Structure 1
Amino acid sequence: MIKKIVIVFVTFFALQINAQEGTASPYSFYGIGSLKFKGTVENRSMGGLSIYTDSIHVNLRNPAAYVGPNLKLFNNESRPVKFAISASHNSSDLKSDSGSEKTSATTVDYLAMAMPLGDKFGFGLGILPYTSVGYKLEDFSNNQIENRYRGEGGLNRVFLGLGYRITDKLSFGVDVNYNFGNIENTAIEFLYDEDGVPIEYKSREHNRSELSGLNVNLGLTYKTMISDKLELQSGLTYSPQSNIVSRNTRSYATIVLSEQSEQEFEVNSIDADLESLGLDKTDLTLPSRFSIGAGIGKPRKWFLGAEYTFQNTSKFSNPIITIENATFVNASNISLGGFFVPDYNSFSSYLKRMTYRAGIHFENTGLEINNEKINEFGISFGVGLPVGKWFSNANLGFELGRRGTTSQNLIQENFVNFQLSLSLNDRWFQKRKYN
């Protein structure tokens, strides 16, 4: 088992190195990138709903979900050790008043583990890309390119969490997150002579920020039977406002740009003195985040719930890059979703043992450009496929959505997301019995 875990970790890090640019959204130009992590595939298949918890799936949004009741299958002695890994592929159609473009990106979404620590405690750890930057934008005037903007990178997160079962119905948990990564932004200015002929030499500004810092995420879960067949589940999470350190560099260069390959050949460059401006080391604010939700269902049969999330994004600022036409306002999200299992214990039909998920979400991203709010809408579907023993499963997710608008010379993204995850369970702890 240890060898298998090591192989998975090595493979994951190898993929991460080649998949740093995990988005192709022009809106990742703003702030520290587009939010990449929106929960597990199971969560996202239910419209982002994260309030449902059980003993066989990892819930990465609420650390209180690391604990739960022991399983009858394990003689009520323990809970399974849970592993989760996921990858996704995104395809987007970008539309504006002046044209359209297609983009795509494939990334690893998370690698995580949760394990029991006795009857009252649960432990979780993992790594995931939290935000992602990946864009290439061009600014035209009179059919001539004036500026080209390019960006890549993002913020990654390693987390370590602990959950405590206060009562049979109420649990509390806390995650400590270490955030790290880098973001690079490049702007190239194209110049022309009096006859409108492009000048050979272009000007380039390059900014790089190395990011690091800690934050915490607190969570509560409450579940109780409200009748013989119906169970109420509810959840609450809160992440206080925190700061991450950004160590910044900036350079200016004269370049020659190859017309065929667009490769940049540097003629000369100079480093900016950010220290004298007080910009070599800056603090970025990670806004506070609060979510609350509830739902009802029949255990191991169906569930339907709703969740509201609020993020104080108006507190975000990035001193190293100032954008005149964009502001950050408070963000919010509403998720509605659930699942249905025809017969989880069916011996005759595999389809009846599958979990069918669906949901929708409505999101105000917290970004406002040219006085237009950038909103997102998505509808999602998914299935859980039983594999192996101890209720392990593979999960497939599919999401259709729209982000942004074509008003005010902006870009509308129509996106399709495919997600795949493995949720694997194993039994490590078993009491010895003597005859």
Structure 2
Amino acid sequence: MYKSIKFSLVCLLALLTTGVAGQKNVHSPFARYGIGNLEQQGPFRMRAMGGISSGIRDNLSLNYLTPASYSSIDTASFIFDFGIDYGLNQLKGDGLKYTSQDMTFSHLMMGFPVMKGWGVTAAILPYANGSYDIGFESPGDGVTGTIYEHHIGSGGYNRALLGTGFRPLPFLSVGVNGFFMFGEVTRVNDFLFTDDNNHFNTRKQGSSAINGLGYEASVQFMISSPENRFINAGITYTPAYDLKTNNNDLIVRYSNIRTTTMGFDTLTHTTLSTTSRMPGSLRAGFSLGQTDKLTAGADLVYTWWSKASIPGSYGEFTDALSLHAGAEYIPDRYSNYSFFDRMEYRMGCRYGESYTLFLGEKVKEYGITFGTGIPM
């Protein structure tokens, strides 16, 4: 049994989101499999609440996971949202422990109203990260001696998104996102004979570049009372979609003379243009509470990864389930006396399963999230 435990601290500037650009710096052995590590999705506010989104409507933030929510964008606002994400990750299994501190680009979004009850959002979002750096030795035999394996991955896949949401009825909102997925992941695997320079070392190198279009549609149902209490429910469905895929695979051998690498000899070099099939998914959930005071909710997400087909990827795909729950509390949003009473306090939790099997088992992920919104 493997477990992945993540604790994330997420801070949100409630009315003005700023950030500093950061390069991807995620190093996880699980990024070798499938299309890489799937990035955490959702804006900071929702992620601090465990990743809930289906029932969230906010006139001053963008909930791209549920495009029906765009209809709540304030008519007098233009929203720009940029962020980076920092996380401490710890992986355990079979007596081994792997820890890394990761900083990644989170999102770049902008949204604006067309008219009351109709909003538009555009965004660039990371989808999967293929970065890893793993090395280990195996004893070999009396002929070959020690073999050192070094596996390196780099690159990732992203989505450029354009969506709109419209509220045709007081209790109903509908929305759709169209997106373009693109990117490239490169994997390099070196097998080195460290005890004998007379043996040839082997390098297997492969890259996979993808691009293509997809869409997702959502609906939200809203009930409110004169006391500003509300109940929202939402569903978002993403159909399966195809991506153009170009794979480039190279196998070479080379020798080491003292500390110098020499004599690269190409054994095979193949290129393949094909099609990848990305899975469909369903997200459903609700939120309830009192406007400007309390919001609580839960989401369920199911993705049919077993129906995916991605040439050039490692591992066996399996359907994945994730559960999310969280809450936000504001003591007194309009307080004239206490800055801390105007702050937004958030916390949540989540459970998830890996979309690939490792030694025939799913990796379980448990997360605790918390954060604050600071009024500006």
TM class, shorter-chain normalised? Answer: 0.7 to 0.9
Match of 1:346, as an amino acid? S
Shift of 1:69: 7.2
Normalising by structure 1, we get a TM-score of 0.75
Shift of 1:300: 0.7
- Deviation track 1:286-343 (CA, whole Å, cap 9, x = no partner) reads 100101001210111001111111000111223224x4xx421111111111100000
Match of 1:319, as an amino acid? P
- Contact 2:197–2:255 (CA<8 Å) still a contact in 1? no
2:351 matched to 1:362?
yes
Q: C-alpha distance in 2, partners of 1:97/1:312?
A: 29
Shift of 1:110: 0.5
Q: C-alpha distance in 2, partners of 1:123/1:27?
A: 36
1:253-292 correspondence runs (5 A): 253-255=252-254, 265=261, 267-270=263-266, 272-274=268-270, 280-292=272-284
Q: C-alpha distance in 1, partners of 2:337/2:258?
A: 63
Shift of 1:98: 5.7
Cα–Cα, structure 1 residues 258 and 27, in superposed 2: closer, same or farther, change >3 Å? farther
Q: C-alpha distance in 2, partners of 1:339/1:328?
A: 35
Among 334, 347, 360, the alignment partner of 2:336 is 347
Q: C-alpha distance in 1, partners of 2:255/2:97?
A: 28
Q: C-alpha distance in 2, partners of 1:136/1:343?
A: 48
Match for residue 385 of structure 1?
A: 374
Match for residue 113 of structure 1?
A: 110
Cα–Cα, structure 1 residues 256 and 88, in superposed 2: closer, same or farther, change >3 Å? farther
Q: C-alpha distance in 2, partners of 1:340/1:368?
A: 38
Cα–Cα, structure 1 residues 25 and 256, in superposed 2: closer, same or farther, change >3 Å? same
Among 28, 32, 36, the alignment partner of 1:29 is 32
Secondary structure in structure 1 of the residue aligned to 2:366: strand
2:27 matched to 1:38?
no
Match for residue 211 of structure 1?
A: 210
- Contact 2:197–2:257 (CA<8 Å) still a contact in 1? no
Among 176, 182, 185, the alignment partner of 2:184 is 182
Shift of 1:26: 1.1
Match for residue 317 of structure 1?
A: 309
Match for residue 160 of structure 2?
A: 158
Specify every segment of 5 or more residues in structure 1 that has no aligned partner in the other structure, as ranges: 1-7, 71-77, 388-435
Q: C-alpha distance in 1, partners of 2:362/2:93?
A: 16
Match for residue 296 of structure 1?
A: 288
- Contact 1:226–1:232 (CA<8 Å) still a contact in 2? no
Cα–Cα, structure 1 residues 44 and 69, in superposed 2: closer, same or farther, change >3 Å? closer
Cα–Cα, structure 1 residues 362 and 145, in superposed 2: closer, same or farther, change >3 Å? same
Q: C-alpha distance in 2, partners of 1:147/1:265?
A: 16
Q: C-alpha distance in 1, partners of 2:105/2:80?
A: 15
- Contact 1:22–1:133 (CA<8 Å) still a contact in 2? no
Q: C-alpha distance in 1, partners of 2:256/2:41?
A: 38
Shift of 1:32: 1.1
Percent of residue pairs identical: 25
Secondary structure in structure 2 of the residue aligned to 1:382: strand
Specify every segment of 5 or more residues in structure 2 that has no aligned partner in the other structure, as ranges: 1-16, 141-145
Shift of 1:45: 0.5
Count of paired positions: 354
Q: Which has the higher contact order (CA 8 A, sep 6+)?
A: 2
Cα–Cα, structure 1 residues 339 and 292, in superposed 2: closer, same or farther, change >3 Å? same
Secondary structure in structure 1 of the residue aligned to 2:374: strand
Match for residue 81 of structure 1?
A: 78
- Deviation track 1:140-188 (CA, whole Å, cap 9, x = no partner) reads 3238444221111110111111111111221111111111110001111
Cα–Cα, structure 1 residues 96 and 365, in superposed 2: closer, same or farther, change >3 Å? closer
Shift of 1:271: 7.4
- Contact 1:90–1:106 (CA<8 Å) still a contact in 2? yes
RMSD: 2.6
More strand by share: 2
Q: C-alpha distance in 1, partners of 2:136/2:27?
A: 17
- Contact 1:254–1:266 (CA<8 Å) still a contact in 2? no
Cα–Cα, structure 1 residues 100 and 376, in superposed 2: closer, same or farther, change >3 Å? closer
Q: C-alpha distance in 1, partners of 2:212/2:64?
A: 19
Cα–Cα, structure 1 residues 56 and 188, in superposed 2: closer, same or farther, change >3 Å? same
